[in-house]
Amino acid sequence: MSINIKNLTLGGCCAIALSLGFTIDAQADGPYGFGSAASAADIAKIDIDVMPDGRGAPSGSGTYAQGKKVYADKCSACHGADMAKPVKGTGAAPLRGGRGTLTSGKPKKTVESYWPYATTLFDYTKRAMPFNEPGSMNNNDIYAVVAYILAEGGIINKKTTMNAKALAKVKMPNRNGFISDPRPDIFNYN
């Protein structure tokens, strides 16, 4: 523990040192002033995340029809034409199907069956997809392909135009499927 000596009289300082055993350190204990202020423009370049309530979702929009093209161009080579069966050897995850399987003993986790928020689909696609060229799709492309994937999964209407507002409104089937970690859950204390 150190105390900023500038704020203390010499007497007060010694009294604390004697009564509580503190080491008085005359050196500054921060803030140190290192680093430079980040401008809004600097932050905007890297602040790409989208939160479940839609915060961070950029402007732009896309439709099912546009998304179908984007999907064929950027996604289907790995995720497969029908989204349910990824192409072997690519490591891609199935995006569609599996609803109702989480209690079956043979759960099939997909965007449709498992992901709790549509914003996560936008966020992840924007930051990491397509695998061979991450960051190469613009916001309109991503909104469009999100619309296509969600509509193919029967979660939204094919006529829905996807944008920042619509994205936050999507109710994913497994929205309430997650609970807090209660561990420790095993009690062999002795």
Partner 1 sequence: MGKKTNLHGYDAKTRRMMEGMAEAENNALAARAEAEEECECKEGMFPSMDRRGFLAAAGAVGAAGAATLATRGAAAAPPGAMDYPIQKDPTSEQGRLTNADGGYGSRSQFESEVRWRFPTATKESSWTMTPLDKSEGIITPSGLHFERHHGGIPNIDPAKHTMTIHGMVGTAKTFTMADIKRFPSISRQFFIECSGNGLTEWKKPYLKTVQGTHGLTSTTEWTGVPLSTLLREVGVKDGAGWILAEGGDAALMTRSVPLDKCWSDALVGYAQNGEALRPEQGYPLRLLLPGWEGNTHIKWLRRIEVSDKPFMSREETSKYTDLLNGGKARQFSFTMEAKSVITFPSGEMKLPGAGFYEITGLAWSGRGKVKRVEVSTDGGATWANAELQGPVQSICHTRFRFPWKWDGKPAILQSRCQDETGYVQPTIKHLVDARGLDGHAKFGSIYHLNAIQSWGVDSDGSVKNVHKY
Residues at the contact surface with partner 1, assessed by CB under 8 A: 30-32, 34-38, 42-43, 46-49, 51-53, 89-93, 102-109, 111, 114-117, 119-120, 123-124, 127-128, 131, 134, 177-186, 188-190
Give the H/E segment covering residue 61: strand 61-62
**Pick 114 or 143: Cβ nearer partner 1:** 114
Residue type, 14: C
Tokens 């008085």 belong to residue: 24
Report the nearest approach of partner 1 to the CB of residue 43 (Å). Answer: 5
> Structure tokens of 155?
């979660």
**Pick 66 or 125: Cβ nearer partner 1:** 125
Report the nearest approach of partner 1 to the CB of residue 62 (Å). Answer: 20
* Alpha carbon 108 to its chain's center: 21
3-class SS of residue 162: strand
- Give me the residues paired with residue 134 across strands: none
Report the nearest approach of partner 1 to the CB of residue 104 (Å). Answer: 8
**Pick 6 or 88: Cβ nearer partner 1:** 88
What is d(CA 67, CA 124) in angstroms, rounded to the nearest whole number?
16
**Pick 12 or 134: Cβ nearer partner 1:** 134
- Give me the residues paired with residue 62 across strands: 162
Omega prior to 52 cis, within 30 of 0: no
Report the nearest approach of partner 1 to the CB of residue 29 (Å). Answer: 9
**Pick 29 or 73: Cβ nearer partner 1:** 29
Omega prior to 31 cis, within 30 of 0: yes
> Structure tokens of 88?
């072997």
Report the nearest approach of partner 1 to the CB of residue 121 (Å). Answer: 8
